[in-house]
Amino acid sequence: MRVLLVEDDEPVAESLRRGLLRYGFEVEWVTTGAAGLAVATPYDLVLLDLGLPDTDGLDVCRALRRRGDVPIIVISARSDETDRVVGLEIGADDYVSKPFGVREVIARIRAVMRRVRPAEQPTGPQRYGARLTVDRKAARVRLDGVEVALTPKEYDLLAFLTEEPGALMSREQIMEAVWDANWFGPTKTLDVHVAALRRKLAGAVAVEAVRGVGFRLNVLTDEPDGAGDRAAPEAPVGPVGAHPT
C-alpha cells in the first residue's frame, strides 16, 4: 500500500516514515502543499499536515478531494474543534492530532481503508497453510478445525505476526503493536508468549527467534513423503488486522 506523506516537520516525518516502512507501507514524502499536489505517481492514501510552509493544508485537502476519492487523513498540531470539523467537512476521512504514536496512525489507516474499500477486506477466517485459521472478526483461532484456547495477548501476538508471515519483526515493533506504544522495561513477557504460541500451534507455524533482533513467523506445510515440516512460501489467503488489548 502506497502512502503520500505531506509534512514539513522533518523529525515528525522521518519518524512516521520509518514506522510506516516497518509496517510494510511504501511512502512518498514531500514537504509542501504544492509538491503534494504535483505528485503524479498513484497512491492509496494521503497523510496531510495542515501547517505547511507554502499554503494551508485545508486548501490542499480541498484540492485533493476535488481530484478524486483517495482517502485523506489529516495530521496536525491544531487540536481546535473547528479545524477538525472543517477538515472533515471538506473531505478528510479522519483527523489525528499531534503528538501521536505510529501505532495510532497505523490503526487509523486500517480503519479508514476498511470503511472506504470494504470489498477488499476479508469477510471470513484467513487460512495459513493447511492447518491454521485465524478469524479476526471473531478473535478465534482454529488448528485442524478445533478452536485453540489463547489468552488475549497470545491472540494479539499471533494476529500481528500473521499479518506478514516470513517478515522479521523487531522486539520493539512487536511490543509497540501488541502491548503498548509507550512500553518501557524488559521484554521477557514477549518470550513467554512466543513460547506459548509455539507449544499450542506446534506443526502449523514456527516462530523463529533472530538473536538480537526479534521474531519471524513461518507457516509450515506437511510433506507427505515424510520430509517433515517446511516453511510455506505462499502468502495466506486474505490480509490483516491485529487487535491489541
Show the cell assigned to 149: 484456547
In whole angstroms, how far apart are CA 44 and each of 58, 109, 110, 144, 171? 19, 10, 12, 36, 29
In whole angstroms, how far apart are CA 197 and each of 45, 75, 126, 207? 34, 37, 18, 8
Examine the pLDDT at 111 and tell me if it is beyond 90: no
- CA–CA separation, 21 vs 14, rounded Å? 10
Neighbour-count burial of 206, counting CB atoms closer than 10 A to its CB (0-12 exposed, 13-18 middle, 19+ buried):
middle
Examine the pLDDT at 238 and tell me if it is beyond 70: no
- CA–CA separation, 180 vs 177, rounded Å? 7
pLDDT in tens, 184-208: 556 688 999 999 999 999 999 999 9
Cis peptide before 118 (omega within 30 of 0): no
In whole angstroms, how far apart are CA 59 and each of 6, 87, 92, 114, 133? 13, 10, 11, 26, 46
241 and 155 Cβ atoms separated by less than 8 Å: no
Return the pLDDT at 147.
96
pLDDT in tens, 126-182: 889 889 999 988 889 999 999 999 999 999 899 888 877 887 888 877 887 787 655
Q: pTM of this prediction?
A: 0.55
